[in-house]
Copies of this chain bind each other. A is one copy, B any other.
């Protein structure tokens, strides 16, 4: 039942090990259904050990989310810096968002999909999640300033785009067995549809 990988993993980053194990379990079974014991079992430590690294269960979840958000925001920024064309920056940012989700499904799920207890719902606006969203909105602003879009309501456009890319990301992650058309084609079509619908 217990697979000890202390020696193997180099045991240096037990904290990260805990976060990884917890994230996967939270995604697989839901936050409320995952016990501290289950997490501990998964990494081969005692439940008590987790409390050496995290204040309590909700702190553990919180740290996981923040880490993922930071990761996402950073990726999007890096990608966007590769181009000067606002529209192209927008497109590449949207694409990176989806790819990030597909490359890190458990991280994406935990922050954007899995239903969490109410106490966590308000955290979003103060967290790195906001940073990631702001990154995208800044590019929308650029497009608006360049008169590239059919409306100047930056907030409305940004949220619309987010809804779209979150939609495709999450159904691809969650409904693995749905008979989707070819994955990249579908992603492209979603993004191009969103951009086309947003332009004149």
Contact = CB atoms under 8 A, between A and B. Distances in A.
Interface string A160-200: 10111111101100111111110001100110111111100
A57 to B, nearest CB: 12
Contacts of A52: none
B186 A197 contact: no
A126 B168 CA distance: 21
Q: What is the total number of copies of this protein in its complex? A: 4
Interface SS, A side:
helix
Nearest to A180: B159
A179 to B, nearest CB: 6
A113 B193 contact: no
A112 B174 contact: yes
Contacts of A3: none
B33 A124 contact: no
A113 B192 CA distance: 24
A156 B192 CA distance: 12
A29 B192 CA distance: 36
B160 A163 contact: no
Contacts of A118: 29-30
A114 interface: yes
Contact of A197 (B33, B122, B157, B194): B194
Contact of A167 (B124, B166, B195, B198): B166
A145 interface: no
A146 interface: no
A109 interface: yes
